[in-house]
Copies of this chain bind each other. A is one copy, B any other.
Amino acid sequence: MGSLIEDIRKEQIISTAITTIADKGFINTPLSEIAKEAGISKGVISYYFKSKDELVKKVMDKILSDSKKYINKVVAGEKTASGKITAYISASFNYMEVNKQHFDALVDLWGSITAHEEKLNFNKKNYDPCRHFIEEIIRAGIKSGEFVSIDVRLAASLIQAVIDGVMIQWLFDENAINLKDARDEVAKVWKAYFFK
Contact = CB atoms under 8 A, between A and B. Distances in A.
A1 to B, nearest CB: 39
Interface in A105-128: 107-114, 119-120, 122-124, 127-128
A157 interface: yes
Contacts of A54: none
B166 A119 contact: no
Contacts of A181: 151, 154
B109 A111 contact: yes
Interface residues of A, number: 50
A137 B192 CA distance: 21
13 contacts: A25-B111, A27-B114, A108-B111, A110-B110, A110-B168, A113-B172, A119-B171, A127-B169, A128-B176, A158-B166, A161-B163, A161-B164, A163-B165
A158 B176 contact: no
A157 B172 contact: no
Interface stretch (A35-43, A61-69, A182-190): A182-190
